[in-house]
Structure 1
Amino acid sequence: MRNRRLRIVVVVLVIVFGILIGLPILYISAFFGNVAMGDLTGSNEANEEDEALRQKYLEAAESAFPGVKSYNAEELKYKLHWGLVYAVDLYSAELERSGELPYNNIRRLAERLAPKFEYKDSTITIVTETKKIVEKEEVDETGETVIVQEEVVETETVVDEVLLLVTADTFRGTYFYSYEWETVEYEWDNTKVTITQEVVSGIDFKQSYERLDDVIKRYLDMDRVSEDDRTLILETAFSAGTGNEHFGFLIGMPGYSNYLNIGGIDFSNLPPEWIQAFQDAGKRYNVDWMILVAVAFVESSFNPNAVGPPNRTGELAQGLMQFLPSTWAIYGIDGDGDGKADPFNPIDAIYSAAYYLSVLGINEDPRQALYRYSGGSYAYADRVLSLSQTMTVGGGSGQLAWPVPGHSRITSPFGPRVHPITGQRSFHNGVDIGAPRHVPVVAAESGRVVTVVSHCREGNQSCGGGYGNYVVIEHGSGLRTLYAHLWSTSVRVGDDVLRGQIIGTVGSTGRSTGPHLHFEVRINGSPVDPMPYLQFVY
């Protein structure tokens, strides 16, 4: 009887403890689930009011962004996530028992959280060498005048002054950029273009949540901010509207805040051989190549020389895909065929990651495979999967690569305008991007070339229907992109091209007043404003 009474007391205590501990966790779990599904107002369902509220926070975050000044648009990696503005404002309102959101001046709040940038001056030198056959008169041995042909090389040098990002001061710490000079040559037909510029050689990161903590103190009226306080804010920020309801951090699991990237993925400036390797490795091992790209971004921010902090056994993760030496010893592959498997060789790393993920069962259970790849984090897995689904046009985000890398000046936007040649009011079906002649033009997305006009010469305004030399690429789902007024083209109808692949060079053929690229986006045949679709919005 005594033992039975003791067991009853124990059961009652367990039930009471479960109620005291379990109910708050269930409540918080439900809260995170609702926020993840887009319920920002607490109505237990996502509706038009929630979308209107989300738009307000999104506009506040966008308005606080300092803008893009660097030629390679590195700043876009650090755009403020609207969810962070929402999370701080939400908990501030909760403390004041206010049911109305936004509660604070969210534009001012966003300004306090927004990144700050520092720059340095640099140059991009573009040397274009064009071989031409010229005819000239000469007097031969008999004294007669004859016409002879001679090959000459015409050289044009353009030096553009640009800005490079040096530091990015964000709410989670500061990123320090280092650069090295690089010269790349492109050749096609009778033209050779040599581009010399500084490229990113490394990004160092010094973590500091001082700026975020100061904002939390100010808006939540706190004397100090604990790690738990900060984590709750960050987890709410990432969960908002993503569809990923993660609350494992409440019981000690790694949270989304460990992997929260505050910008999108820009891989339009990656070397073409990397993009090719992502696609080929994905095809060989039956892995979605966008997942491989997302892994590279989350693991190393596309830095092939990255070295991670020591894990619990003291090993340092290495290279683009952050392999541990012990894992590399088993799964490392010689991807480029140079006879050596090197984790710091980006091609080897890409193929090895594809192979490793295939062994982990990426096709049967992608989330579980990525969980194992990361060493045990579902937050990591969800982050990679989320990014991989929003990088391509077909995936839903509609983000296209900037078609003239290094040149961002819009000389004529989409919409009504006074035509610079006719002087008449007309509708401009695309955007004009100013750039010197012979600057490479790249495909904004992978696809198949469906139209090429390449016979036009500058001065013939009617050639190509006014477009001059131009290329049209079909991307699927009714989406096409058009690239006009080209000096030269380097693709043919039927070619399958990759995102970032050179398809021609900037010119002034057709109805044009000077060298530029006329770029169009067409949906089911109808022209739309390209700017919302472009990766780089200046």
Structure 2
Amino acid sequence: MGRHRKQSPATVRRSSVLALTGLVPAGFMAVGAASDLDTGEIAAIQQFNEGELNPFTAKPAEDPADQVHAVAKQGHKSPPVVKTVALPENREKSTLPAQSGVPGVAIAAYQNAEEILHTENPTCNMGWSMLAGIGRVESTHAFGGKADAEGNALSPVYGPVLDGSLYGNNVIYDSDGGELDGLGGYDRAIGPMQFLPETWKRYAADGNNDGIADPQNLYDAALTAGKYLCSGGLNMRDLGQQTRAILRYNNSMAYVANVMAWANSYNTGIAPKPAELPKI
């Protein structure tokens, strides 16, 4: 979440350590659709956003992979305009089917980011499942895929106000004049991949090739997350470097264990049980 938490040493249970080594704990269960959230998950997510995300407005492809390739083939221009686009209310949710427990519009965004990064930064070896692991932990893939056909959140996704009132979070004063997070005085994380405004401005990427880097857009957010994780020449095929990259998001080994466990589950089709994931 953009490194805004105060972190204390976390104790990672043995089952979580297995996730860090790329192994699947024997107690994993089959992955369900990400849109099928239980009450506990919804309550945890709503601590930083009571609304829904915006959907992707372009005509959806028959298959998420088709949409991924169509976006990637358009080319990639830089630098994009960094802003949050004002969109009409009551837009329809994307109907792309879920795959591997990930909403269709989200998996299309992650796979699109993987394809672009393989061209722009092939030594990073970023896989879509790693981005999906981040997206699962940060916003449950925009609250179970509550985004339009173009990947725009149906309602803006915001983290808690970082004014020191919430235990465990740092105080971070306003860095964007409220331009991206709609808030003056203090900052808060923005979008389905939960970037701080200052970090977003530094790494902002245009994942859907519309000339804009919007943190509330899944395509832009996924590609920006990939750039952030890959920065500094890190290689995601190396476990140590992969761990370093994830720690940039949240300086907690419990967080790393959760992200890796979910990333592994999207590769294997098996999800971790809640009791096997350390509390972040």
TM-score (norm: length of structure 2): 0.49
Q: Which has the higher helix share?
A: 2
Q: Which has the higher strand share?
A: 1
Greater relative CO (CA pairs within 8 A, separation 6+) = 2
